[in-house]
Structure formats: structure tokens, C-alpha cells
Amino acid sequence: MPFTLDTTFVPAHLNAAHWDALAPLYADLAERQVSGRAEFERWVLDRSELDAAAGEARANLYIAMTCRTDDPATADAWAAYIEQVPPKLKPVSAALDRRQAEMHARFAPGDPRYAVLERALRNEIELYREVNVPLETELARLDQRYDQVCGAMEVDFEGERRTMPQMARYQESTDRALRERAWRASSARRLADHEEISSILDRMVHLRHQCARNAGFGSFLEYEHRRKGRFDYTPQDCEAFHRAIEKHAVPFMRRLDARRRASLELPALRPWDLAVDELGRPPLRPFTNGQDLIEKTRRVYRRVDPALADLFHRLGDDRAPGGCFDLDSRKGKASGGYQYMRDRSREPFIFMNAAGLHRDVQTMVHEAGHAFHSMLCEREPLVWYRSSPIEFAEVASMTQELLTMGEWDEFYPSPADAARARRAQLEGAVSILPWIATIDAFQHWIYRNPTHTHDNRRIEWIGLDARFGHDLDWNGLDDSRALMWQRQGHLFGSPLYYVEYGIAQLGALGIWARSLRDGRPAALRDYTAALSLGGSRPLPELFERAGVPFDFSESAVGRTIDAVERYLDSIGD
């Protein structure tokens, strides 16, 4: 049932996927007379619920499209929406932003309740350019095409046709020859589409640079940094973060590579040697299918925290009518995973490509963390405060990967397997930082050099991989190495959205460290209190309420990695 709120402005059964249904309501907001504080607050609440309805319509169409990229009806519905609704909605929203900012100044000047919202509104007003609306529509179409290309990728292997997530299972096999065949088959399939994917990014870079220039910026890097509302750090801070990762996280990761190489008794590691257990143990197989994954995750949360268990139970079953999951990998699904909050009904949706791997467990609890975040602030009446800056939103999700580790025996009845999974989680939490730095630095370079060629891009990527990547032998695999970036969907649909994961990882590790020091209940108490604030406080305050500093300096990176290493040394293999 839809979440009820004290407003009747938006009809319960509004079809918000069509502009003809939305237009009269937005016109009412544009024309309504507002003469005092009470009328202003009613206007803000009504706009919030209308924006929530519009957002949920978009969410439902996007969810349907990514679940079935090969279904013409869902693809056409999404394409029709992005071509017909956002181009009309964006200029109307920009006008309402200006009106709302003026009313803030008249009726609620200096009110801390609206401080974060007002700052965001003024930022949107300064950046909005109507000329960018058709460019953004084309960018959305290009992103849809990227999802379609990736969703169609399959490999004929070992007598069956398999999706790319399903092919990843073979990288955990102890049979090195099988791993190599699977890796080469997957790489060849990706390379078959590399020219189209490169062309998609070419066009996106051109359009994004034009959007930035239209808004008065020299590059998309500076423009998008502002558009993302990064009020508390700069692109230069991100580059310092890259250097801190290079100094502390890369050596950590490469020490693990050296240990792996020695354990496997290899002269050098190849790309197909990174996922197999280095001690020759069989792959971890934590669940059989999506529903089994849900049932085991439910048991985990019953032991972690009753309140979180109740939230997870609300999500329902895999692919049940009206449910909140689509988990199993299949042909035609978009790549990756996400949680999408349907803003009016306050119902989350979790999407992933589960193939029975340990990383699917990580994805499940990660996306559950996002869902908890959305649900814990669902009673916030203002839709803009029912989400937080991404840097903290990812703390919500990454913390779940760490604070659930003690109950992973629900997935792994063998104590040795459960311990192995926990070690992999902590080692991975640090080892992901170099990849984050690679992706973020690559995007910095792309958007500072928007007229670069494919050869320029190839050279830059390989240089970044040499700086931040694993210690691998790539002999004979130059094309695969040079195009690894094509697997990162954020480059296409969410530009410059990746450094947030690194900032959040430090915050999540800080909460985990506190759970060791003060106990998990204390850590969870402050974590859930911070999540309940949504986005109603500035970013540093959200971190502070969660009990960790907003700090991704060189010293913070070093301290965090030292703490992880000491813990790993204390528990052994």
C-alpha cells in the first residue's frame, strides 16, 4: 500500500509516467498564491509528493527496462519516457526551484530545517541551462544502449550458453586451464563489442563537455563536481586521495598478490589467477538461487539486529508480485546491481545478477544497506531529504558488508569457509581502493582532455593500471587490458560517480573498527541514527552522527589500512 501522508494534492492513482498527467499539477504549483509560512510549507510538501510520484514513475520504468533489456515493450516504454517527460519536466522544475528559493528567503529565512535543501536548490538554479535538456536526453538514450549491448552478451562455453556473470564462476575454479579458457572466452566476447562501446563513450564525452561549456565551466570535471553537490571537497582533494591510495593501498594489494603468486607456485600471476583460492580450496558456494540467498540473508539479520531483520523481511521474496527483488542472472538483464527507492510508495527495489558466488552475498547485504537507509528515513515528509549524499549513502551499504560478517556461517556452515569469506571481505575492502582510484583518475583525465583519441585513451588507461593495478603478467593480452574500463557501467550512466565508494569505504571501516572496540550494538545505534537523518544534514554531520570522521586524507588512509592489517595478522589464515 502507498505510504500515507497529510496531503491530498497528488491523486492516489496518478499515472506519473505521462506528462499530460503531471502538467496540471506542476502548473498549480507554479501559479498558486502563497502568502505566509503555513502556505509555504504546504506548497513545499505538495511539491515533494508530486516529485516523489514523478520519481517513482521513472524508477518503475527503469527497473522494468534493466530487468528485460531485450523486451521491446519495456525498452520502448523507457525510451518514450526519457524522450517525452524529462525534457518537459526539467524546465518546469527549474522554474519551481527559483520560486521555492525565493519563498525560502521570504517565509523561512535562516531556518535550519531548510538549510541543506536551500543550498542544493541554489546550486541547481546556478547550474541549470535549458539548452542542456536535449543533450541530457541523448545521454540517457546512449546509456540505455550501453545496457542493451552488455545485457545481450553471452558465451557458448562447456556446452551451454552463459551470461557474463555466470562465466565469472569459472574464475574460482582450481583448474587453471579451465579458468584461462573461461577468461579468454569472456574477454573475446567483450572485445566483439568494444568498438560500439567506445563509440558510446566518445559521444557521451562530447555531449558532457558541451553541457559543461553551456553552464560556463571549462570542463565537465568541474561542472559535474558542482552538479553532484560536492560542497565539502574538491577535484584536487580527490587527486590527493588517489596519491594516498597509491602510497598505502597499492602496496597492501601487491603484497597480497605476492603471497598469492607464491602460494600458487607460479612465476607470475595472469588475469585468470586473481579469483581462485590461493590455497587450492574449492570455490565458496554460499547459495543456490535468488530465493535461497534471500532466506539465508534473513537469518543473518535475525542475528545481527531485530530492527534490521524487520526491515529486510518487509522486502518480500524474489520476483514475487509487488516484491522488491530481481536477483538471478539471465540473458537480457542489464549488468551490475543497484537499489532503487520508489519514492512515493517508499518501496525499495534490489537488482543484481546473482550466479552463486561469494561476491553475490556481498552485493546482497550491500544493497540491503541501501534499502535500510531508504526505509529508516521513509517518514521524512520531504522527498529531497529521503536520500543522502552518495558519499554517506555508500557508508550505509558498505557497513553492512562488514557488520554482518560474524553471521556469515548462515551461508557457510563450515567454520573454515566462514573465516575464509571474512578474510576475503576485509582484504577486498582495501584492495578495491586502487580500482576506485583508477576509475576516478581515468575520468578526471577523460574530461580534462575531451578531444582525446582512442590511442590516447589506451595509453592513459594502461598507465593508470601500471600505477594502481594488480601485479599481473599481461603478455599477449594488450587489447583486453587496454579496454578493462568498458566493464565499469558508472563511466556511462553515472559519470564521476565512483570516488564516493572510496570515501565511504573508509567510513564503513571506521564503523567496523568501532564495533570491535565498543561492541556492535553501540556501533549499530549510531549507524542507524545517522541513516534516519537521510539527507537533512550536511555530509560531515552525517559522518559525525555515525561515529566516524569525514576524512579521506593520506593519514586517514594509512591509519585505516594499518588497522585492517593488524586485525588480519591477529586472526591468521
Angle at alpha carbon of residue 153, lines to 147 and 157, rounded to 5°: 160
pLDDT 10s per residue in the chain (573 long)?
Answer: 344 556 789 999 999 999 999 999 999 999 999 999 999 999 999 999 999 999 999 999 999 999 999 999 999 999 999 999 999 999 999 999 999 999 999 999 999 999 999 999 999 999 999 999 999 999 999 999 999 999 999 999 999 999 998 999 999 999 999 999 999 999 999 999 999 999 999 999 999 999 999 999 999 999 999 999 999 999 999 999 999 999 999 999 999 999 999 999 999 999 999 999 999 999 899 999 999 999 999 999 999 999 999 999 999 887 666 679 999 999 899 888 999 999 999 999 999 999 898 999 999 999 999 999 999 999 999 999 999 999 999 999 999 999 999 999 999 999 999 999 999 999 999 999 999 999 999 999 999 999 999 999 999 999 999 999 999 999 999 999 999 999 999 999 999 999 999 999 999 999 999 999 999 999 999 999 999 999 999 999 999 999 999 999 999 999 999 999 999 998 866
- Answer for the pair 493, 204: CB distance below 8 angstroms, yes or no: no
Is residue 2 packed enough to be buried (19+ CB in 10 Å), middle (13-18) or exposed (0-12)? middle
Angle at alpha carbon of residue 126, lines to 125 and 129, rounded to 5°: 80
Residue indicated by cell numbers 535461497: 292
Positions of E strands within 285-438: 325-328, 338-342, 347-354
The 3-state DSSP class for residue 154 equals strand
CB atoms within 10 A of CB 441: 25
pLDDT number for residue 2: 41
pLDDT number for residue 492: 96
Within 8 A by CB and 6+ apart from 349, the residues are 59, 63, 324, 325, 326, 339, 340, 341, 342
Phi, psi (deg, nearest 5) at residue 162: -130, 145
Cell representation of residue 111: 531556518
CB atoms within 10 A of CB 226: 16
pLDDT number for residue 572: 67
Annotate 49-118 with three-state secondary structure: HHHHHHHHHHHHHHHHHHHCCCCHHHHHHHHHHHHHCHHHHHHHHHHHHHHHHHHHHHHCCCCHHHHHHH
pLDDT number for residue 335: 84
Compute the distance between CA of residue 171 and CA of residue 463 in angstroms, rounded to an integer. Answer: 25
Maximum separation of any 2 CA atoms in the chain, in Å? 77
CB atoms within 10 A of CB 32: 14
The answer for 229, left when phi > 0, alpha when psi is -120 to 50, beta otherwise, is: left
pLDDT number for residue 318: 73
Within 8 A by CB and 6+ apart from 20, the residues are none
Q: Write b or e for each residue in 284-323: b if 16 or more Cβ atoms lie within 10 A of its Cβ, otherwise e.
A: bebbeebbbbbebbeebbbebbeebbebbeebeebeeeee
Compute the distance between CA of residue 536 and CA of residue 380 in angstroms, rounded to an integer. Answer: 9
Can you give the pTM of this predicted structure?
A: 0.91
Residues comprising the chain, all counted:
573
Cell representation of residue 235: 577535484
Looking from the CA of 491 toward its CB, the CA atoms found within 13 Å total: 26
Sort strands 160-163 and 347-354 into parallel, antiparallel or unpaired: unpaired
pLDDT number for residue 547: 97
